[in-house]
Amino acid sequence: MYLSRFLSIHALWVTVSSVMQPYPLVWGHYDLCKTQIYTEEGKVWDYMACQPESTDMTKYLKVKLDPPDITCGDPPETFCAMGNPYMCNNECDASTPELAHPPELMFDFEGRHPSTFWQSATWKEYPKPLQVNITLSWSKTIELTDNIVITFESGRPDQMILEKSLDYGRTWQPYQYYATDCLDAFHMDPKSVKDLSQHTVLEIICTEEYSTGYTTNSKIIHFEIKDRFAFFAGPRLRNMASLYGQLDTTKKLRDFFTVTDLRIRLLRPAVGEIFVDELHLARYFYAISDIKVRGRCKCNLHATVCVYDNSKLTCECEHNTTGPDCGKCKKNYQGRPWSPGSYLPIPKGTANTCIPSISSIGKCYCNPLGSIHDRCNGSGFCECKTGTTGPKCDECLPGNSWHYGCQPNVCDNELLHCQNGGTCHNNVRCLCPAAYTGILCEKLRCEEAGSCGSDSGQGAPPHGSPALLLLTTLLGSASPLVF
């Protein structure tokens, strides 16, 4: 497991160093979570906001197609050539590697000749719509850092929606609509990203820029991340500090660039003419040779390393945070509420580390008999009942003894002596000689019973009379025999 983890990290870094370049310096400010500095107290750690590098995220996704059997070639079928829609003797055959077009080919190396691509079945069931969902899932929140680019091998679709999920595919929302005619397809006015501004940057638009079917040489569709960044960072993204300032303070903006899943909904293939040519339905299908998604693991600015292990991306959290996105404080580090690191102040940001919980300084469990509450109060102390003391409220103040909690002493050997030869039992009662009673054995028993003989004399111990002894034994409520 350790080896594979190491290899994954290694692979990630190799990728980063070989492909990284769109804005190397500006993003690079957040590549360290901590550094050692010298202060009057000696060497100490200084903590900073940090994030993983931007990388090719298509290596870490799972792809799912709906309908599941929409890929061409099972059974084999013929389709028309890309360039010439009337040359219809090409073959797709899933069981022959050279003629198969499985979904993986959207993510393999681009630039091969001839190019490799995924292809759908043809529109043979026209007029039933030919619709395909391509769902890309990361099982992890990621932040997009560059345009999503989809390269079609045949014409670009007449109608398409890019959707995103922020909750692992439970709910979906549109990201952008694409159509040759936005009004007709989606009842939306056509717009381009250039029509937006800082204030409308989160608007979901329909664009006609990328849907011109067969009639153009361009095969590419963009979802423009960089143009949207540029509303804050300026052209060529020179002022990233300004973008970071916005991201720090506007959760909606952060969330806009964050996804767990993307879905490409292909709604109508390229037709290129007003009418569908029903005699040549093998002209109509979808084919995609490449999908580019660049981004980084979302670690809330608490990690620089994101590990791919067991087909799962996980942030290696610093600053005593934890969770797949470093989205909470570690146990015993909840001394203040969790918050994400902050990009500002530039250039190192603010780490917002989690600090030890007060209740974890020693372990806080107060003696339930000696304390008012069995947990510490807000400043980390056990609050003791009267007569009780000690950090855990399990010791008694002088004049008190432990008896299901601290109780004031009834008798002791200092101030509250038992009298007339009585002995103090566990500080809670005097064991009196038979003739005496009272809390401290201070009273003659016969006095209490009103039966003292006149000849015995006031205060003299009634020695030697068996009858009297028997009587006191029967009457005595605090008889020595009882103890």
Ligand X SMILES: *[C@@H]1O[C@H](CO)[C@@H](O)[C@H](O)[C@H]1NC(C)=O
Task: Write out the residues near ligand X by the rule CB under 6 A.
Answer: 45, 47, 66-67, 131, 133, 163, 172, 263, 265, 319-320, 353, 377-379, 381, 383
| Pairing state between β 436-437 and 423-425 | unpaired
End-to-end CA distance of the chain: 68
Q: Which helix (H) or strand (E) holds 36?
A: strand 34-39
- For residues 354-365, one letter each, b for 16 or more C-beta atoms within 10 angstroms of the residue's C-beta and e for the rest, the string is beebebeeeebe
CA–CA separation, 383 vs 392, rounded Å? 8
DSSP-derived 3-state class of residue 230: helix
Q: Quote the least distance from Cβ 6 to ligand X, whole Å.
A: 23
Q: Which is nearer to ligand X, 36 or 379 (CB)?
A: 379
CA–CA separation, 158 vs 215, rounded Å? 12
DSSP-derived 3-state class of residue 46: strand
DSSP-derived 3-state class of residue 389: strand
Q: Which is nearer to ligand X, 26 or 221 (CB)?
A: 221
Q: Quote the least distance from Cβ 73 to ligand X, whole Å.
A: 19
Q: Is the distance from CB of 284 to CB of 271 less than 8 angstroms?
A: yes
DSSP-derived 3-state class of residue 225: helix
Q: Quote the least distance from Cβ 346 to ligand X, whole Å.
A: 21
Q: Which is nearer to ligand X, 329 or 418 (CB)?
A: 329
Task: State both tokens at 196.
Answer: 């937006």
Q: Quote the least distance from Cβ 306 to ligand X, whole Å.
A: 19
Q: Which is nearer to ligand X, 83 or 378 (CB)?
A: 378
Phi-psi region at 14: left, alpha or beta (left = phi > 0; alpha = psi -120 to 50) = alpha
Task: Choose among 112, 105, 98, 99: nearest CA to 72.
Answer: 99
E strand map for 245-297: 258-268, 287-292, 294-297
Task: State both tokens at 148.
Answer: 């999503």
Q: Which is nearer to ligand X, 22 or 174 (CB)?
A: 174
Q: Quote the least distance from Cβ 48 to ligand X, whole Å.
A: 10
Q: Quote the least distance from Cβ 50 to ligand X, whole Å.
A: 11
Task: Choose among 266, 290, 306: nearest CA to 111.
Answer: 290
Task: State both tokens at 51.
Answer: 């994030």
- Distance from the Cα of residue 352 to its chain's centroid: 16
Q: Quote the least distance from Cβ 90 to ligand X, whole Å.
A: 25
Q: Quote the least distance from Cβ 45 to ligand X, whole Å.
A: 6
Q: Which is nearer to ligand X, 41 or 414 (CB)?
A: 41
- Helix runs in 171-239, H state only: 182-186, 225-233
Q: Which is nearer to ligand X, 201 or 266 (CB)?
A: 266
Q: Quote the least distance from Cβ 121 to ligand X, whole Å.
A: 13
Q: Which is nearer to ligand X, 58 or 353 (CB)?
A: 353
- Tokens 């509450």 -> residue: 373
* Most distant CA pair in the chain, distance: 143
Q: Is the distance from CB of 30 to CB of 79 less than 8 angstroms?
A: no
Q: Which is nearer to ligand X, 297 or 354 (CB)?
A: 354
Q: Which is nearer to ligand X, 368 or 453 (CB)?
A: 368
Q: Quote the least distance from Cβ 362 to ligand X, whole Å.
A: 14
Q: Which is nearer to ligand X, 49 or 201 (CB)?
A: 49
Task: Choose among 52, 37, 69, 46: nearest CA to 300.
Answer: 52
Classify residue 425 by its DSSP letter: E
| Rounded (10°) CA dihedral 373, 374, 375, 376 | 60
Q: Quote the least distance from Cβ 189 to ligand X, whole Å.
A: 23
